[in-house]
Amino acid sequence: MVQSQDSDAAILWEDVLALLSARDDVNQAVVAMIDSCTPTALDGDTFHISTSLGFAQRRITQQAPIIEECLEQAAFQHLTLVVDLVKDQRSIRVNNEASPEELSQARSATQIAPEPAKTVVPRQTTDAEEIAYVERLSDEISATDSKLTFERFVAGEENRYALEAAKQVANGEKKSYNPLFIYGKSGLGKTHLLRAIQNYIAKNDPSRRCVYRAAADFVDDYVAAATDRSGNGAAANLAARYQNVDVLIIDDIQNMMTAGGTIRFFFKTFNTLLSHDKQIVLAADRSPSQLGMGESKFDERDTSRMDSGLSVSIQVPDYELKLNLINAFYDRMRADAMEEHVDGVVGTIPDDMRRLMAEKAGTNIRVIEGFVQTCLMKANRRERMGQSITRSDILEAASQKWPTGQHIITVDQIQRQVEKFYDVAHDDLIGSKRNKELMEARHVGIWLTRALTDNTLAEIGKKFGGRTHATVKHSIAWVDDYKKRDRLFHDRVETLRDQVTDVT
């Protein structure tokens, strides 16, 4: 473009912006986004502007008819608007409030010595920079994550409620599901549902800005900003940046439990988004109330806010769901392998062998998926030798994925996990105090000891402060009954059971 055309384009664009600002049918936030674009060419009857933001390109293109009306008013001829996307490298930083633990961790990791405190004035970021930050996060969907869709999610009674809630949040139907909190032990499909929400929005409603972040990455971003030493201070706090987010998804939020500064930082963002009617989706390996137990820096106000919308658990799969999962993984892996011409995976596993796989499979869905792939490879090798996969092949693969007899669980191990989970002292757990919190911890400890060890009732009583046979029976009956009546209590017990059995 020659210099005169450049000047003409710039002058014309100023007039267009003035006309847009005066219109009542154009949102001023959209005008600000349009204003962030650069006029690049006036070529005959085509007017080019450029932006580095994919989101801005989509939104402005949607407004093209109105902009072209203003262009025609300013240029006295019809001009077609073209919005070009160009690359732009910006460094985006966040707020600088961190807990002492987070600062210490960051300094030791980067070997930066503490500096004397000084007063700095944070550099004010532009709307374009904040949108650029959100746009970059919105586009972070890897090839693997892009396959985590609602269509590929295998539903059963254990996860159907969570699936339906995630679908309604994804299509914007249920404003009351805010925040949506999905919890359950690792490997049951929480991340699949969160990524499915993100993928659904990216495909069906790209104008909604959806950001997925693992809590560990959120903490890392925050600490990096808190230890920024550029001299400009941290750019702006995370809440301000995320005012441009329509849907914020945070996965594995339990990984934020000991990061006090990040928690305060997160809830600034949380409150800002909710006040602007933006959607928040959270996932964890425990319920909101459980996040506040033990040494966690989540306080009761934090956990109540996370539990203020819809909280739904995902349970471990039973035989029927495991069989459905195995059949779905089997069909999908064979289809993908044939489509992508991958050798070694296109084997045949008969129905009776898949039923055996379901009987022998554990409850972690990610491990079940790997189990199916292993069996498919075994079936493929058998077929190359003119044979079929055998029962022994299935049992061998299952024993590799879920070895038996890994370790013997002791009463001491159970008591340590219960004490840590409920944040109680050992002497109190086995002592005579009878307040509500201690009583639940004591009942659950006795119940777990009965369920996970070979100790007799009398032996369990001795380990729990010399309690009688009848008292131990009462504790076991109390837990069995309460588990049936209270779903949250049931989830607490199962979470604790998993923690005990996961200890090696």
* Of 129 and 275, more confident: 275
Q: pTM score > 0.75 for this model?
A: no
How do residues 293-310 score in pLDDT, each as one tens digit?
767 888 888 888 898 888
Q: Provide the pLDDT for residue 460.
A: 92
The CATH homologous superfamily for domain 411-502 is: DnaA protein, C-terminal DNA-binding domain (1.10.1750.10)
What gap in Å lies between CA 393 and CA 400, rounded to an integer? 11
For the segment 429-454, the average pLDDT, to the nearest whole number, is 87
For the chain, give the percent of residues with pLDDT over 70: 79
The answer, yes or no, to whether residue 426 has pLDDT greater than 80, is: yes
106 compared with 76, residue with greater pLDDT: 76
Q: Does residue 120 or residue 372 have the better pLDDT?
A: 372
Calculate the alpha carbon distances from 169 to 150, 180, 237 in Å.
12, 8, 26
Reply yes or no on whether the pLDDT at 142 is more than 80: no
Note the pLDDT of residue 3.
47
Q: What is the pLDDT of residue 32?
A: 72
Mean predicted confidence (pLDDT) in 208-214: 89
* Calculated CA dihedral for residues 426, 428, 431, 437, nearest 10 degrees: -120
Choosing among 2.10.109.10, 3.30.300.180, 3.30.160.100, 3.40.50.300, the CATH entry for 3-85 is 3.30.300.180
3-state class (DSSP) for residue 210: strand
Q: Where do the domains of the chain lie?
A: 3-85, 100-112+125-313, 319-401, 411-502
Q: Is residue 502 within 8 Å of 362, Cβ to Cβ?
A: no
Residue 60, Ramachandran bin (φ over 0: left; ψ between -120 and 50: alpha; else beta): alpha
Highest mean pLDDT among 19-23, 239-243, 464-468: 464-468
Query: How does residue 240 score in pLDDT terms, banded at 50, 70 and 90?
Result: low
Higher-pLDDT residue of 399, 237 = 399
Mean pLDDT of 371-376: 91
Q: What is the pLDDT of residue 502?
A: 67
- If one compares 368 and 235, the residue with the highest pLDDT of the two is 368
The least confident of 59-68, 88-97, 229-238, 253-262 is 88-97
Going by C-alpha positions, the residue among 85, 82, 92, 87 that lies closest to residue 131 is 92
pLDDT (average), residues 277-282: 92
pLDDT of 94 reads 37
Evaluate if residue 504 carries a pLDDT over 50.
Answer: no
**What is the domain class of 100-112+125-313 according to CATH?**
alpha beta
| CA–CA distance, 254 with 284 (Å, rounded to integer) | 6
Express each pLDDT in 336-351 by its tens digit.
888 777 666 678 999 9
